[in-house]
Structure 1
Amino acid sequence: MAESKEKKSFAQRFLDAVEKLGNKLPDPIVLFMIIAGLILLASWIAGMFGLSAKNPTDGETIEAVNLLSGDGIVMIITEAINNFGAFPPLAMVLVVMIGIGLAEKTGYFEALMKRSLEITPNALIIPMVILVGIISNVAGDAGPVILPPIAAMIFIRLGLNPIGGIFMAYASTNGAFSANFILGMTDALAAGFTESGAKLVDPEYTANIAMNYYFIAASSIVLLVVIYIVAKKISIPRLGKYDGPPVDEEPISSEEKRALLWANLSALAFIVIIIIATVLPNGILRNAETGSILQESPLMDSAVFLITILFFIPGLVYGALMKNLDGTRGFAKMLGDSMSSMGQYIVLVFFAAQMLAYFEWSNLGPIIAIYGSDLLTSINMTGIPLFVGFIIIVALINLLIGSASAKWAILAPVFVPMFMYLGYDPAFTQMLYRIGDSTTNPIAPMMPFLPLIIMYAQRYQKDIKMGTVIANLLPYSIALLVVWIIFIIIWYLLGIPVGPNGPIYLPE
């Protein structure tokens, strides 16, 4: 008798379709090239038809500019290098990667994660794994690569299915990607694109990487609880017991403990120095004229570099004590290797910079934003319905385009101005985007870490496939999306700024 085919659920059929569609999308680099070409074509059409819009802030008429005219082509070829060099996120991300890369290459991040989990009581281990996962996103790609296999070993020690640990750790590092107590590369990257978009409306606008800090810090606590409940009530029970052989867990050595202690003390000493230089009445990191800590202060202007040093110092101390720097040549090689991983990003930035420049020169961004805000106003889609709709749109786009920078580079020049014309500050718009961008990460087929998670899971269950992985990660994504939307709505209704210099509404 022929075997009956297993009938797939609607959710599985939907995810299969998303994966198939997503695989047909070109690489983000090629995608930017295509979009840049489409913008040039759109500028030609808009210019030919005389497309224009009236700026509601000053009453001036904004006209579309044809970039395929003689003057436009000259500007394209003469400004290409300047577009690339002046691209806001590029310098910030590369500088931060110097510190993060060294801390990762020397093994400091991995040792820190292991030790944090080793010293935690059993009752608090699962929350600690989640907390480490949330915080680890400050280290960029280190979290989803390092934490899941460590979580699997910890789950075995607790008598739980190690695959549940892998899924929970992955959901923590990726699903809560925009929540943290520490500012890092993600904040710098998002702020750069937000600033570029805001300058289409206000050329004097300046973003700061801490402008979402209040909300993302508070979100870290909320999302920790959400992930813990989903793990305990849904994911862990669903996977059942693990009957496989125990996996040898190599504890952190006394030498690593000693190196980690001194590395952490060095980081703490640096933090103390920063605090002293900030809180003292005449602290050098305050604004020299006003004494402000947040507004136009050296602290905020140097935040990216200070974060780099914060990672660099403990990474260097740990590497020196573990004797894995291999002299000055080895040290230099580590720095070079950490930066070499940014090669594709640098190429992506070149084409993203051209695309954004074309969009700005053509005036299509402000025109679309004005028409879009008029449309939203005419159908009364403002406030909470607008926020929820925008978050869901971003969450769905995230299933097809894994790169956060690629998505925000495309969306920021449209939605940041659009929300500004409706009276909302770019910092608030950025936070709405980051919620949608984070919550569907665990189930996004385009995320480069998903194949790695499958590989980790196959160590404990050889026949595990994509469907099982997605089915166990989907509850995390749904719960994170729903709760985070509710949380931002409550935050909005209370009127609390999302961060320093990050109000909900534009200043009048």
Structure 2
Amino acid sequence: MQEPSAKIQLEKPKGFIRLLNGIERIGNRLPNPFVLFICLALLCIFISWLVHAFGVSVIHPGTGEEIFVKSLISTEGLAFILGSAIDNFVSFNPLGVVLALMLGIGLCQKIGLFEAAIKKTILGAPKAIITYAVLFIGILGNIASNGAYVVVPPLAAMVFLAVGRHPLAGMAAGIAGVGAGFTANILITDFDALISGISTDAAKTISSDIVVTPIDNWIFMSVSVFVLTITGAFVTERIIEPKLGAYKGNGQEEAISAVGPLETKALRNTVISALIYIGFVLICLFIPNSPLRNEDGGFIPSTFLDGITMFLLFFFLTIGITYGVSVKKIKNSGDVTNSMVEGIKDMSTFIVLAFAIAQFIAYIQWSNLAIWISVDGSELLKSINFTGFPVIILFVLLTAVLSLFITSGTALWSVLAPVFVPMLMLLDFHPAFIQVAYRVADSATNMITPLNPFVAIMLVFITKYDKKAGLGTHISLIFPYTIAFLLVWIVMICIFGLFGIPVGPGVDMYLK
């Protein structure tokens, strides 16, 4: 594969392109996420000293206690910084959950299960529903993390070309599904675990009893898969394809390689093992007096929900081992371990980043800056009568803008959650609902910002079918999906909120 710079010819900047070029210039001046959080931690230290000097305090809304902002530049503060660094890191909520899940998800990635499943589904789709299949699989592709970016879009382009449709329309649908629909899924992924852990840490500023679990957005995100699939298909067939017109070809198109009989048999075995595992769990859940339910026989809360991470881990291990044995990539227990190790290696960047994020969150909470900003911020919003849905919609729009500059969903939420989760909780919003508002905005703009490294990779794919393509070409293909997905998601948020539809099991818009 050529380097992106070798193939990309940027078009003459116009209008929206100039705006994005400006975003790129500003964003490129930001430090990498690890350094960014170190800088934020240092800023937190300075601000705590400054605010403490003025004797600022607030009344804690839960306990009624007067809380003073504490300085991190003090004997007590220095003792906390030096003495708690390791504890901050080890107790960082998402760390253990994400690494545990990646033992299973990483195994599935390394043995090729996700790639084979994506390829088989798209290639096997009837012509009439190819667009829907591309978007559906692209959206679900985030289970394979970033691997979906380099599998779904180019494969979608080849499938569209094979049935006489413009390959760039297929490419656009694939990019939109994988990128703009990144956060939606029917399955629980490592991202659900990661982001819910950050939300839980932020919510503790107001209440130590509230825990946001990886399944607390499951209903909303599952519905989103189907809504975005239909929306994306409409955009593809009614906007993108008419805009592109007929494809004339350039003689360099690649042929599609089908999934082999061994992989097909392995996928069949994997589906069977998945159904057996799910059936076993359901039997355990619904047997009389099941220990997985609570004392009243319910599921919220329950031992099952408390242990959902382990149930998901064993699910991915079950299907991963089944597929690996079937394709003869797993011949002994050592092969399983080695694949799991390779999967964890891919999380090394997150582990490094988690250390810096954990310190920043710990500093802003210990100093009481988070509770001070949250209480005063919520009081200001109440004083101007800016509550309810308007404040949620404003938060969505703010996030959509900020995600153009900070492309890591984890990093941006780690910046926003310590302030906005407590603040909006004081307006009675449930932290899991606030998390939904963040996720939809961050995902929608995921693939139009030049700061996303996968934009350059997508441009390489695009130029295989259009030699003159540049950043403007990419944006013109993806921007309609960004707007459509964001609008549809905002409407969904309003519907879920107004009609009291839970965004996850037992999770409504407001705190009970």
Q: Normalized against structure 1, the TM-score is what? A: 0.95
Residue 292 (str. 1) matches residue 273 (str. 2):
no
Cα RMSD over matched residues? 1.6
Partner Cα distance (2:178, 2:221) in 1 = 14
User: Which residues of 2 match residues 429-508 of structure 1 at below 5 A?
Assistant: 429-507=434-512
- 3-state SS of 2:67 partner: strand
Partner Cα distance (1:6, 1:415) in 2 = 39
- 3-state SS of 1:50 partner: coil
Identity %: 38
- 3-state SS of 2:447 partner: helix
Residue of structure 2 in register with 1:197 after alignment:
202
* Letter matched to residue 447 of structure 1: N
Residue 224 (str. 1) matches residue 218 (str. 2):
no
Deviations 1:327-359 (A, max 9, x none): 554443322221111111101000100110001
- 3-state SS of 1:336 partner: helix
User: Which residues of 2 match residues 65-84 of structure 1 at below 5 A?
Assistant: 65-84=70-89
Alignment partner of 2:432 out of 424, 427, 430: 427
**Is the Cα contact below 8 Å between 2:125 and 2:133 reproduced in 1?**
yes
Superposition deviation, residue 6 in structure 1: 7.8
User: Which residues of 2 match residues 87-486 of structure 1 at below 5 A?
Assistant: 87-244=92-249, 245=251, 246-287=253-294, 289-295=295-301, 297-325=302-330, 327-486=332-491
Partner Cα distance (2:216, 2:475) in 1 = 33
Superposition deviation, residue 263 in structure 1: 1.5
Deviations 1:29-85 (A, max 9, x none): 000000000000111111111111123344321110011101110111111111100
- 3-state SS of 1:354 partner: helix
* Letter matched to residue 268 of structure 1: L
* Letter matched to residue 275 of structure 2: L
**Is the Cα contact below 8 Å between 2:139 and 2:184 reproduced in 1?**
yes
Partner Cα distance (1:501, 1:445) in 2 = 39
Partner Cα distance (2:213, 2:330) in 1 = 34
- 3-state SS of 2:58 partner: strand
Unaligned runs of 5+ in 2: 1-9
Superposition deviation, residue 250 in structure 1: 0.9
Superposition deviation, residue 457 in structure 1: 1.5
Partner Cα distance (1:388, 1:308) in 2 = 35
- 3-state SS of 2:151 partner: helix
- Which of 490-499 and 37-46 deviates more? 490-499
Superposition deviation, residue 367 in structure 1: 0.5
- 3-state SS of 1:294 partner: coil
Partner Cα distance (1:140, 1:315) in 2 = 16
* Letter matched to residue 283 of structure 1: S
Partner Cα distance (1:417, 1:346) in 2 = 25
Superposition deviation, residue 279 in structure 1: 2.2
* Letter matched to residue 435 of structure 1: V
Residues 329/497 of structure 1: CA separation in 2 closer, same or farther (3 Å cut): closer
Partner Cα distance (1:465, 1:8) in 2 = 10
* Letter matched to residue 248 of structure 1: A
- Which of 235-244 and 320-329 deviates more? 320-329
Q: Normalized against structure 2, the TM-score is what? A: 0.95
**Aligned pairs, number:** 501
Partner Cα distance (1:102, 1:243) in 2 = 41
Partner Cα distance (2:226, 2:336) in 1 = 37
**Is the Cα contact below 8 Å between 2:497 and 2:508 reproduced in 1?**
no
Residue of structure 1 in register with 2:5 after alignment:
none
Partner Cα distance (1:363, 1:328) in 2 = 49
Residue 10 (str. 1) matches residue 15 (str. 2):
yes
* Letter matched to residue 257 of structure 2: E
Partner Cα distance (2:472, 2:140) in 1 = 28
Partner Cα distance (1:387, 1:444) in 2 = 23
- 3-state SS of 2:328 partner: coil
Partner Cα distance (1:324, 1:500) in 2 = 37
User: Which residues of 2 match residues 27-66 of structure 1 at below 5 A?
Assistant: 27-66=32-71
Superposition deviation, residue 7 in structure 1: 6.1
Unaligned runs of 5+ in 1: none
* Letter matched to residue 275 of structure 1: L
- Which of 492-501 and 428-437 deviates more? 492-501
Residues 294/458 of structure 1: CA separation in 2 closer, same or farther (3 Å cut): same
**Is the Cα contact below 8 Å between 1:391 and 1:436 reproduced in 2?**
yes
- 3-state SS of 1:210 partner: coil
Partner Cα distance (1:423, 1:493) in 2 = 14
* Letter matched to residue 37 of structure 1: L
Superposition deviation, residue 278 in structure 1: 1.3
- 3-state SS of 1:62 partner: strand
Partner Cα distance (2:406, 2:11) in 1 = 30
**Is the Cα contact below 8 Å between 1:276 and 1:283 reproduced in 2?**
no
Partner Cα distance (1:178, 1:351) in 2 = 24
- Which of 197-206 and 6-15 deviates more? 6-15
Partner Cα distance (2:500, 2:183) in 1 = 20
Superposition deviation, residue 235 in structure 1: 1.5
Superposition deviation, residue 193 in structure 1: 0.7
- 3-state SS of 2:205 partner: coil
* Letter matched to residue 280 of structure 2: I
Superposition deviation, residue 282 in structure 1: 2.5
Partner Cα distance (2:169, 2:208) in 1 = 49
- Which of 494-503 and 434-443 deviates more? 494-503
Partner Cα distance (2:282, 2:43) in 1 = 49
- Which of 414-423 and 129-138 deviates more? 129-138
- 3-state SS of 1:77 partner: helix
Partner Cα distance (1:350, 1:241) in 2 = 51
